[in-house]
Amino acid sequence: MKKNYSVKVAGPAGYGIMESGRMLGQALTALGFEVLVYPEYPSRIRGGDNIMVVSFSQNGAVLPEKKNDLVIALTKESFLLHQGEIKKNGLFLIDEAEAIKGKDVFSLPLTKIAQDKVGREIARNVVALGAAFGLLSLPLESLEKEIGKNLADKGREVVEGNLGAARSGYQQARSLGIDHPIEMLKVKKPKELFSGNDAFSLGVIEANCSYAAIYPMTPINSILSDLAKRQKETGMVIFHPEDEIAGINSAIGASFAGARSLVATSGGGFSLMVEGFTMAGATETPLVIIEGMRTGPSTGMATWTSQEDLLFLIRAGNGEFPRIILTPGDPEEAYRLIFAAFNLADIYQLPVIVVTDKYLSESAFSTNKLGRDNFGLKINRGKTLNQNPPDGYQRYQLVGDGISPRALPGQAVFLTNSYVHDEAGFSVEDGKMRLLMKEKLFKKIASLRNELGTRLYGGQEADLTLVGWGSTKQALLSACQNLTDKGVSINVFHFFRPWPFPSEAREVLAKAKKVIVVENNSTGQLASLINQEAKVEISQKILKDDGRPFFAGEIESKLGH
């Protein structure tokens, strides 16, 4: 029996497409499936072609698919745009009001049911979800539970109306006599559905971040809204600055005062922040930055994904100073690494960038329960002093590991500025002191290079090694699983901390028989970094840069399978 399924919901903005996909994904996750909910939408407030692709499977990594078992087209225009996107024996579900006929096209009175049950045609999406469960022979109870959860704040009448709409859609779909039975799993503990941004928000809160300055930009907007919703509960100060420059400068000030501070932005927004970023480096001020990549340059395609900013982030800013760059590949890593970022920023007293992209940030994945207790995470403030330092305290004292004890305002009198300075923080133009302070900066992270920044999936003796970073992780694991099933000797080498370049990566890559780097950009930025840092020959680069992530089967196809 077939093991992978895909449902696409399509329609203009304002038709509840995003909510539909998320509710469908939540219901399928509760049933025990591995689920991915992948959104696509244009940079428009109303109209346009908005889609949610809900891919699900009994096991293994799940990717968005180009062809679907079921396409729910809520308008005629949506139907015409997505013709040809069904698999063999796939179905189109449309509103009978659109009067479309054709092979594999089934119509139901979605709008009429919505008006009858809820009194508003916008509920046609809920009718369609009920119909989808009917066409796929899935138990409606799971969907009903998610509808109740998602609409609980709308009042009992709204919830009951939408539940009735879903049931009517389900019953009408079952009456068509179409049966696409899906093998159900028995699971003791279903996973939960998290987007990358959901995981970031939770990790930021649990890391005891107390100040966040976020100017909204795709794809990090939901981090701002999630943190703002929980502001009373957490006590976190949420600052909506007039621009990105004000945002990063305020966060540096809050961090200087002792608060764990965050800024979140896109690549374009970080471009504006670079001067402030260098000040954090020069003043050795802890700071965490979430940078959400999207297609560039400049505004590019604002609502589409890419991996174009890695080398920019490694070199951003005038002059030379250390920074740490983390690149999670799934929500679990997003949670763990954003939590770790605050510890690393405090321990090494420098800025830490956690890199995401539109695909990871806004897609939702079935994930094990996230939380500090599940992963044994603990807060580490490094050499931040919890009491007044002794007389003669110098903020930039030259010590063996380069990391000076850090006092906070009120604990001692000290000076901090963006100039080259001496141990007390006073500006200097002395060449010898300049060299001592430069050596201090880079000495701080010398030990970090020996900490793991990669993970190898599969046997070390594989004939073929797929290498990637960030959100390509799921695509690489899926390709590895599929090719292993075909007898190919293959493994996956994932970078979750590409900078400072991990020492162990040199050894692993040197032993690899054939290295193929997979990236969502046009130039192979990780491949360039590997060549620079490890002097390893890259056998092949698989690059995709059309604003979309890697879909199911694309990597295998590039490899000739």
Question: Which CATH superfamily does the domain covering 4-174 fall into?
Answer: Pyruvate-ferredoxin oxidoreductase, PFOR, domain III (3.40.920.10)
Residue 293, both tokens: 């990549």
pLDDT bracket for residue 228 (50, 70, 90)? very high
Report the pLDDT averaged over residues 15-31.
94
- Structure-block tokens of residue 344: 């690393």
Q: What confidence score (pLDDT) does residue 380 get?
A: 97
Q: What pLDDT shows up at residue 185?
A: 56
Q: Where are the beta strands (DSSP E) in 58-126?
A: 68-73, 86-95, 105-108
- What percent of the chain is modeled with pLDDT above 70? 98
Token pair 């621009």: residue: 243
Question: Architecture of domain 195-375 in CATH?
Answer: 3-Layer(aba) Sandwich (3.40)
Structure letter (DSSP) for residue 97: G
The residue-averaged pLDDT of 281-289 equals 98
Query: What pLDDT score was predicted for residue 183?
Result: 60
Q: What is the mean pLDDT of residues 124-149?
A: 93
**Are the C-beta atoms of residues 151 and 158 closer than 8 Å to each other?**
yes
In tens, the pLDDT along 172-205 reads 998 887 766 566 555 557 899 999 999 999 999 9
Quickly name the fold that domain 452-558 has. Rossmann fold (3.40.50)
Residue 97 pLDDT: 80
pLDDT band at 45 (very low <50, low <70, confident <90, very high): confident
Please write the tens of the pLDDT for every residue from 293-309: 999 999 999 999 999 99
- pLDDT average, residue stretch 169-173: 93
| DSSP one-letter string for 221-274 | HHHHHHHHHTHHHH--EEE--SSHHHHHHHHHHHHHTT--EEEEEEHHHHHHHH
**Which residues, in sequence order, are CB contacts of 170 under 8 Å at separation 6+?**
130, 131, 133, 134, 140
Average pLDDT on 75-92 reads 91
DSSP-based three-state secondary structure for 287: strand
With contact defined as beta carbons under 8 Å apart, do 441 and 402 qualify? yes
DSSP codes of every residue in 395-458: TT---TTS---B--BTTB-----SS-B-TTS-B---HHHHHHHHHHHHHTTTGGGGS--EEEES
Q: What is the mean pLDDT of residues 300-319?
A: 97
The pLDDT tens digits for 464-500 are 999 999 999 999 999 999 999 999 999 999 999 999 9
> Rounded to whole angstroms, how far apart are CA atoms 284 and 494?
29
Per-residue model confidence as pLDDT tens digits over 249-279? 999 999 999 999 999 999 999 999 999 999 9
Please say if the pLDDT value at position 1 is more than 50: no
Predicted structure pTM score: 0.95
Which distant-in-sequence residues (6+ apart) come within 8 Å of 88 by Cβ?
none
pLDDT computed for residue 2 by the predictor: 47
Taking residues 95-113, report their average pLDDT.
86
In this chain, the answer to whether the domains covering 4-174 and 452-558 adopt an identical fold is no
Element (H, E) at 25: helix 17-30
Map out the domains of the chain as residue ranges. Answer: 4-174, 195-375, 383-445, 452-558
The Cα 427–Cα 69 span in angstroms is: 66
157/140 Cα distance (integer angstroms): 20
Q: Which residues are paired to 93 by β-bridges?
A: 72, 106
Distances in whole angstroms, Cα of residue 363 to Cα of each of 40, 132, 233, 370, 535: 9, 21, 26, 17, 35
Q: Which residue from 208, 261, 265, 272 is spatially nearest to 238, judged by alpha carbons?
A: 261
- In this prediction, residue 509 has a pLDDT band, given cuts at 50, 70 and 90, of very high
- Measure the CA–CA gap between 262 and 117, rounded to whole angstroms: 45
pLDDT tens track for 412-455: 999 999 999 999 999 999 999 999 999 999 999 998 988 999 99
Paired residues of 5 in beta bridges: 56
Residue 561: the pLDDT is: 83
Mean pLDDT of 355-377: 95
Instruction: Give the three-state DSSP class for 289.
Output: strand
Pairwise CA distance, residues 328 & 144, whole Å = 33
Say if CB 277 and CB 285 are below 8 A apart. Answer: no
Asked if 54 and 28 count as a contact pair (C-beta separation under 8 A), the reply is yes
Q: What is the pLDDT of residue 181?
A: 58
* Angle (CA) 197 35 292, round 5°: 25
- The token pair at 92 is 């189109």
CA 502 to chain centre: 22
Beta bridge partners of 68: 86
| pLDDT of 257 | 96
Q: How high is the mean pLDDT of the chain?
A: 93
Q: Which of 532, 525, 534 is nearest to 311 (CA)?
A: 525
